Amino acid sequence: MTEQKKNITVIPMYAVHLEDLVRPVAVVSVSCVACGHTTDVDPLDMIAKHGKHAWLKEVQHKLRCGKCKELGLVTVRLTWQG
């Protein structure tokens, strides 16, 4: 059996642009620090609102919790698929 090595590019979290989340598909999980509410956010919705060249760390501080309405108190977790 032959194993193929994938070309993997590692991008530091502070340098991730929203367009980097589209291919390969990423699941963006956002957790509120204040109340613990967790939800998945579609990267395409984030691009539509903030533009594809916005940095994830920049957008993170503009997100509001859907449950307690706190602004900017979130942690972001990325899960890459594919």
CA distance 3 to 8: 15
| Banded pLDDT at 12 (limits 50, 70, 90) | confident
Q: In the 8-state DSSP scheme, what is residue 35?
A: T
In this prediction, residue 80 carries a pLDDT of 78
Cβ atoms 75, 23 nearer than 8 A:
no
In this prediction, residue 55 carries a pLDDT of 93
What does the pLDDT look like over 17-74, one tens digit per residue? 999 888 777 888 999 999 999 999 988 999 999 999 999 999 999 999 999 999 989 9
Which residue do the tokens 């533009």 mark?
A: 51
Domain boundaries in the chain?
Answer: 13-80
Residues composing the chain: 82
